[in-house]
Amino acid sequence: MKRRIGILTSGGDCPGLNAAIRGVARASYDLFDAEIIGIADGYKGLIEGDYSEMKPGDFKGILTLGGTILGTSRRPYRNMRVIEEDNIDKVENMKKNYKKMGLDCLVTLGGNGTHKTANLLSEEGLNVIGLPKTIDNDIWATDVTFGFHTAADIGTDVIDRIHTTANSHGRVMVIEIMGNKAGWLTLYAGVAGGADVILLPELPYEPERVIASVEARTKSQKRNFTIIAVAEGAFSKDESALKRKERLKKRQENNYPSVSYQLADMIQKETGLESRVVNPGHYLRGGSPSPYDRILATQFGAYAARLIADQNYGQTVAMIQGQIGHNALKEVAGKTKFVSPDLPLIQTAKDIGISFGVK
């Protein structure tokens, strides 16, 4: 029985997308008579009908390639049912193009927003399977997402390299790591890179405790520098009463591009220590996936093909207690996996003297 499978990648890019695409395609070719349809630029391509049939040769040589051969874009879930100035009904267009392509299944590779739209399409009657990718590692009910480990490796390397210049100049270095809502990436890179202070969105910090940690290292005379890893979405306890947009507006009014600049300025004013900001930004997303992510993405992609073979739709692939499995899209969509203050790694970090800016 021939099956036509549409594949799209949506949201931010990350290492491992191409490995996952390859995993879906190669396993599908092996399990059943498959035709693969590549949809360009995420849901944008599905809305606009921008797609092409792919051949087995299209999946050669992409295992180690970063980014996505299909292209990607951000289409906020909150706007999916909103008719905008172009007068396009996005949901109806996606359904029409699904049928126009003659698809038996749509495979979506993406993060939280992608999963919400995938579930919307599933509820509209389309056969959909999700694959969890994000460097934030914040998708509900999966131990890990592909792209996370590579980004953690890169973040760790950034912190490693900053140690030498921080030590040479006796500076406080504030390193801003991607992670707007969840702090998994900052936590893992911070612990692995030997950061002295780690600030996460889930643990609003107290500025005086951060200052105390910096001063304690300076007074010990054993360390003339401090490394602070801060998630881009981190905020102080005083700011916790404000909504995100209000926090950003307040910082901008004080000429702070982000929390890192606000923090560095505060530290320098309070301690007199030279403080600098390092923001690797999208560097964390780029380049070839690590061996771990190549394997994980391949496993996820191949498992998705098995779900298609079994006609088990409305699911998203997941790592569950160390085993590849799946969860219902409706159980995952709209939920975020946050770092818990009770996480064992948090306690480990505290045990070795890392401060989180909290009591």
Q: Which residues are catalytic?
A: 136
Can you give the C-alpha Rg of the chain in angstroms? 22
Query: For residue 276, which of 267, 286, 285 has the smallest C-alpha distance?
Result: 267
User: Could you tell me if residue 331 is left (phi over 0), alpha (psi between -120 and 50 degrees) or otherwise beta?
Assistant: alpha
Query: For residue 341, which of 112, 132, 153, 183 has the smallest C-alpha distance?
Result: 183
DSSP lists the bridge partners of residue 253 as: none
Q: Angle between the 184-192 and 148-169 helix axes, to the nearest 10 degrees?
A: 50
Alpha carbons 340 and 171: distance in angstroms, whole number: 31
Q: How many CB atoms lie within 10 A of CB 223?
A: 16
List, in sequence order, the alpha helices (H) in the chain. 17-31, 43-48, 90-100, 112-123, 148-169, 184-192, 207-219, 244-253, 259-271, 291-309, 329-332, 344-351
Contact 113, 70 (CB under 8 A): no
Contact 177, 136 (CB under 8 A): no
Alpha carbons 242 and 324: distance in angstroms, whole number: 39
Contact 165, 272 (CB under 8 A): no
